[in-house]
Structure 1
Amino acid sequence: MNTKFLSALTATAAATALFGAAAPAHAFSFGTNTIQFENDTQVIFNFRQSYGMFQSSLGIYGVSGGTPTFLKTLFSEVKSSDSGANNNWKGTLGNTVLGSGIATYTFLANQVYTLGLSSVWLDGSTQPTVYSSSGLNSGGSQQAVFGDPNVLLPLVIPAGDGAAFAGNAANFSSGSSLFNGGVAISFDDRGNGADADFQDFTVTAEAVPEPMTMTGLALGLGGLVAARRRRGSKTA
């Protein structure tokens, strides 16, 4: 390999790394403690599935002084399930939840947030909202699990009895991979005798890279292309 081209390639890689490191996008809290970011961060949520006879709605809440305040609905069921009690009251995209099944929200830097699942019984009465932040729930109970989609989704997508989380739900309390492949989040709505199956409402979430990171990548690729063109012109 031409030494000048190698030098250009090395410089390009260094510049890309520099720009990528200049604006790191990472959550310092995304789990059952709180949701909070160092920088303004856009997150894309995808509805995956629901179970149970409740008609539920998942939203974003701001938290101040330990009090949650509703900010935005992400997904809302138009009915409790696809076909009543069939298949464990299963709800899917295009039937129970309409639309694209995709929602975005920009979390502001250093603000505290939580996800909240509100539900309505078949008779129209309301079920107390459960939050992804355990400290906001009655008795401080854990009502949501966070984890790698490859690990968590197989535990909550098939209908089950909740045995997968018996005594170990606390192992699924952090979504540290939000910027690297995304995170699965699944709720238990306290229905069915508070069975703690954590499969009543399931979504995935992934953060959008910051513009500076993408700019660094573009500059790096641009430098590589320019170096190749210079090499080609000299050879000609």
Structure 2
Amino acid sequence: MYLKKTSTVLGLAVGSSLALSAMPAEAATVEFGNNGILFDTDTKIDFDFIQSQGKFQSTLFIVEAANPTDMSNPLFVENEPYDKTSPDFLGTCPTSVTSPTGECQNWFTFKAGVEYSLALFSGNNKPAGTNGFVYSTDDLNNPVGQQAFVFDGVVLPEYTGPGDIFADPLLGKVTIAFDDKGNAKDEDYQDFIITAMVTDIPEPATLAGLGLVAGSLALIRRRQRNKKS
């Protein structure tokens, strides 16, 4: 009789946990694309470097839209403009590109309600007179226009023209591919390519389910102690 009650409690607890964990987490992405980067909760994004391709020696930063030339949050740094053995100015990690800590991955926690952008700095790049920055946010570019191609997945699709592009790193890997204005702004979107993804989404429902299981197990143990006494 007692074993049956124990099994019933465990079954209810596990079932409730599974049901709660199956509930989707509330989406936190407000914007992730050419209109900016904005979340409604603090959100940690993991970034992977894919490749660079071009003669410029560049660094990719995370910047706040209100302070777009702040270089305090570098993601990936080209230590050389490209791999010395590359026939087509290809840069790979860790040969010529790394994070500041020497890794091929990096991460950043975006604060809720703060608008951000990715910023690629390539020195005095073409056309002449620019400050060397291009941004994933169209409105921050000078002149205003698209310098990054943002899309879901990791395979670069055919580029069909500029437009307001949005992807969601909560749902899977997002790729951001930059054109650095070199070669007369050729819009090849291969000059600096990374991926972004949320890998540890807080799940309030899951935490509630785990709490229910823990509480049920505590109740079972208490009953066992009472029975022995």
TM-score by length of 1: 0.74
Q: Would the aligned equivalents of 1:55 and 1:121 in 2 still touch at CA under 8 Å?
A: no
Task: Map 1:153-168 onto structure 2 (within 5 A).
Answer: 155=157, 164-165=158-159, 167-168=160-161
Aligned-partner SS, 2:95: coil
Alpha-carbon deviations, 1:105-132, whole Å to 9, x = none?
Answer: 111100011000000369xx98620000
Between Structure 1 and Structure 2, which shows a larger proportion of helix residues?
A: 1
Match of 1:77 in 2: 78
1:11 aligns with 2:3: no
- Structure 2 runs not aligned, ≥5 long: 225-229
- Structure 1 runs not aligned, ≥5 long: 156-163
Separation (CA, whole Å) in 1 of partners of 2:94 and 2:122: 19
Q: CA deviation at 1:211?
A: 3.6
Match of 1:89 in 2: 89
Aligned-partner SS, 1:189: coil
Q: Which amino acid in structure 1 is aligned with residue 135 of structure 2?
A: Y
1:191 aligns with 2:205: no
Q: 1:132 to 1:12 in 2, by over 3 A?
A: same
Q: CA deviation at 1:25?
A: 4.7
Separation (CA, whole Å) in 1 of partners of 2:79 and 2:199: 29
Q: CA deviation at 1:212?
A: 4.2
The number of aligned residues is: 208
Separation (CA, whole Å) in 1 of partners of 2:51 and 2:93: 7
Aligned-partner SS, 1:141: coil
Separation (CA, whole Å) in 1 of partners of 2:212 and 2:171: 21
Q: 1:88 to 1:221 in 2, by over 3 A?
A: farther
Match of 1:140 in 2: 144
Q: CA deviation at 1:218?
A: 6.9
Higher Rg of the two aligned structures: 2
Q: Would the aligned equivalents of 2:13 and 2:213 in 1 still touch at CA under 8 Å?
A: no
1:205 aligns with 2:196: yes
Q: Would the aligned equivalents of 1:58 and 1:76 in 2 still touch at CA under 8 Å?
A: yes
Aligned-partner SS, 1:138: coil
Q: Which amino acid in structure 2 is aligned with residue 197 of structure 1?
A: D
Percent identical among aligned pairs is: 35
Q: CA deviation at 1:219?
A: 1.0
Alpha-carbon deviations, 1:32-71, whole Å to 9, x = none?
Answer: 101011001111111110000000000011112xx52424
1:129 aligns with 2:133: yes
TM-score by length of 2: 0.77
